[in-house]
């Protein structure tokens, strides 16, 4: 049974969604929760089974990645510019990577999706309406897996691995006196909002405090039903990238 694909809000009048036969799977969760590691493992797992896989990640568009990098290094942006830069990046990837890949029958693994933008904008503004309107052109994913973690475990994990950075600590918001306090408050607010959205948009919640192999197993269990439904229509692996643009995109990691 194939449900009709839908836009989140006001869609793209010039794009037809009817022929998007691939599957769109979004992996959501806050910074440092292990999304990219699991996406890499999922890609491997799916390709071994013969499915064509395309991955796409936040700020990885050809159009915007440099601009966003520079903007982050420079002045602190206002809320609207901040969210609009990410929205532009997302639109570019949606139209040049995600939609063409789905049209060719690939499984698209998205490292973050519009819900990350919703959480970040809400934490900065207290307003949910505007950003949801802006990202109304997004295609609703077939599945959203939410890697859920508590902020204490997250803080320890981030310190042990890559360390805390300015943006992941929400330092532009000045929520705490130092990086650590700010990180805890900022990530706490993001997780709170993700939890609310998990109910509102029926995310599949995966406990990200567990060992990596258990998390991976849980993710595969959530994804499997989707594959059985659409197996016949999916493209075989090894047919290459469906779009030229993604050939130059950095690998998912």
Partner 1 sequence: MTPPLVTFNQPHPFPGKLIIVEGIDGSGKSTQVLLLQKWLTSKGYNVFFTEWNSSELVRETTRRGKKNKSLTPTTFSLLHATDFANRLYYDILPPLKAGMVVLADRYAYTAFARDAVRGVSPPWVRKLYGFAIRPDMAFYFKVPIEVAINRLLGGMRAQFKYYEAGMDMGLSQDMTESFRIFQARILLEYDKIVSEYGLITMDATKEIEEQQNDMRQLVSTALEHYKPKRGTHGKRETVFWRRFAVPKSE
Residues that bind partner 1 (CB under 8 A): 9-14, 62-64, 66-67, 69-71, 74-75, 77-78, 80-81, 84-85, 87-88, 91-92, 95-96, 124-127, 129-130, 133-134, 136-137, 173, 245
Question: Residue 145 belongs to what H/E stretch?
Answer: strand 143-148
Q: Whole-angstrom Cα distance, residue 82 to residue 66?
A: 14
Residues 133 and 84: their CA atoms lie apart, in Å, by 12
Alpha-carbon dihedral sign for residues 33, 7, 230, 19: negative
Q: Which residues make beta-bridge pairs with 28?
A: 146
User: In the complex with partner 1, which residue's Cβ is closer, 9 or 34?
Assistant: 9
Nearer to partner 1, 34 or 136 (CB): 136
Question: In this complex, which beta carbon is closest to partner 1, that of residue 74 or of residue 211?
Answer: 74
CA distance 57 to 45: 19
Residue nearer to partner 1 on the CB measure, 146 or 183: 183
**Which residue number, 70 or 232, has a Cβ lying nearer to partner 1?**
70
Give the shortest CB-115-to-partner 1 separation in angstroms.
18
Tell me the closest approach of the beta carbon of residue 205 to partner 1, in angstroms.
Answer: 27
56 CA to centre of own chain: 8
Q: Smallest distance from the beta carbon of 32 to partner 1, in angstroms?
A: 23
Phi, psi of 211 (to 5 degrees): -65, 150
Nearer to partner 1, 127 or 150 (CB): 127
Q: With the CA atoms of 151, 166, 27 and 110 taken in that order, what torsion angle do they form, in degrees rounded to the nearest 10?
A: 180
Cβ 102 to partner 1, closest distance in Å? 16
Name the nearest CA neighbour of 233 among 48, 18, 8, 44.
18
Could you tell me the smallest distance in angstroms from the CB atom of residue 225 to partner 1?
Answer: 32
Number of Cβ within 10 Å of residue 207's Cβ equals 12
Chain mean position to CA 235: 22
Q: How far is the CB of 80 from partner 1 (least distance, A)?
A: 4
What residues have CB less than 8 Å from 207, skipping those under 6 apart? Answer: 148, 215, 218
Minimum distance, C-beta of residue 130 to partner 1, in the bound complex (Å): 5
> By C-beta, is 81 or 153 nearer to partner 1?
81
* φ, ψ of residue 149 in degrees (nearest 5): -145, 155
Measured CA to CA in angstroms, residue 135 lies from 85, 94, 110, 115, 172 at distances of 12, 11, 16, 10, 23
């Amino acid at each position: 049974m194939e449900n009709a694909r839908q836009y989140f809000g006001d869609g793209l009048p010039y794009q037809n969604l009817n022929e998007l036969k691939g599957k769109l799977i979004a992996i959501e969760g806050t910074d440092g929760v292990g999304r990219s590691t699991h996406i890499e493992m999922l890609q491997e797992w799916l390709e071994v089974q013969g499915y064509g896989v395309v991955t796409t990640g936040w700020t990885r568009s050809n159009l915007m990645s440099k601009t966003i990098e520079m903007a982050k290094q420079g002045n602190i942006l206002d809320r609207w510019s901040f969210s609009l830069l990410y929205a532009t990046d997302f639109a570019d990837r949606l139209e040049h990577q995600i939609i063409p890949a789905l049209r060719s029958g690939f499984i698209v693994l998205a490292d973050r999706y519009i819900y990350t933008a919703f959480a970040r904008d809400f934490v900065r503004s207290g307003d949910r309406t505007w950003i949801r309107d802006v990202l109304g052109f997004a295609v609703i994913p077939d599945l959203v897996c939410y890697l859920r973690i508590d902020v204490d475990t997250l803080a320890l994990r981030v310190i042990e691995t890559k360390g805390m950075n300015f943006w992941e600590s929400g330092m532009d918001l000045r929520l705490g006196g130092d990086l650590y306090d700010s990180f805890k408050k900022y990530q706490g607010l993001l997780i709170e909002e993700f939890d609310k959205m998990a109910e509102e948009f029926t995310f599949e919640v995966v406990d990200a405090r567990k060992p990596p192999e258990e998390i991976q197993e849980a993710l595969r269990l959530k994804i499997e039903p989707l594959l059985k439904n659409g197996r016949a229509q999916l493209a075989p692996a090894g047919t290459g990238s469906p779009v030229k643009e993604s050939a130059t995109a950095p690998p998912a990691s």
